[in-house]
Amino acid sequence: MAHPFQFLLWTFYPYLMLGSFFFGTIIRFAFFHPTVTAKSSEILEKKTLMIGSILFHVGIIGVFFGHIAGIFIPKAWTDALGISNEMYHMFALGAGGVFGIMATVGVYVLCFRRYHNHRVFHASSIGDLVIITALTIEITLGMSSSFIAGPMNPSFNYRTSLAIWVRQLFMFHPDFRLMLNVPLLYKCHVVFGLMIFGAFPYTRLVHALALPWQYIFRRFIVYRKKPQI
């Protein structure tokens, strides 16, 4: 085969990481459910945490749904609606840029706090330090892909290559050749992102899947003021 490494990287590696994500998550929730939590360091330092956490979480949620739309809405659909490629990318960069900047500033604030604040640093586990560093690198790669690699490669359209490859992953027949001419920063973003997915169940990130559904269905708690005697 002409590209054995590329074949393994874009055919087997994604399934290895996604398999780790799905099976690791099931095992974590089934057998280690009490550990599905994120230790709060708010008691050690609150002001910077609130700024970074709000920016990061709002930004990353917007970026996540932007990725979902960009990958799973085929170009043919937007073409059929009369949305030109230029209009689509202007909207994607505009909306994605806002959420991307929020996520970037937020993760940099959290990363700086985690390493710079001595109390927070010494209370952090190795996993805490690794995951905040990994998220910082991944978000930096994503922003660099959109605002550096994209403009430097005007002929590249991720919707006709990378997005199709991702959709093919879920149909279990990915064509690795679609990734051969993808700019390097995009490739690094994908590889590093898959690595984070693979490590997801074994880190504090897994708490993102532990939604507190019980608060929706529980009875209202009634607070009564103690009468003055």
Q: Is 189 annotated as a binding residue?
A: yes
Token pair 């799973």: residue: 72
Q: Can you give the chain as a three-state secondary structure string?
A: CCCHHHHHHHHCHHHHHHHHHHHHHHHHHHHCHHHCCCCCCCCCCCHHHHHHHHHHHHHHHHHHHHHHHHHHCCHHHHHHCCCCHHHHHHHHHHHHHHHHHHHHHHHHHHHHHHHHCHHHHHHCCHHHHHHHHHHHHHHHHHHHHHHHHHHHCCCCCHHHCHHHHHHHHHCCCCCHHHHCCCCHHHHHHHHHHHHHHHHHHHCHHHHHHCCCCHHHHCCCCCCCCCCCC
Q: Is 57 annotated as a binding residue?
A: yes
Exposed, middle or buried by CB within 10 Å (0-12, 13-18, 19+), for 87?
exposed
Q: What residue numbers does the annotated binding site cover?
A: 57, 67, 189, 207
Q: What residue numbers does the annotated binding site for heme b cover?
A: 57, 67, 189, 207
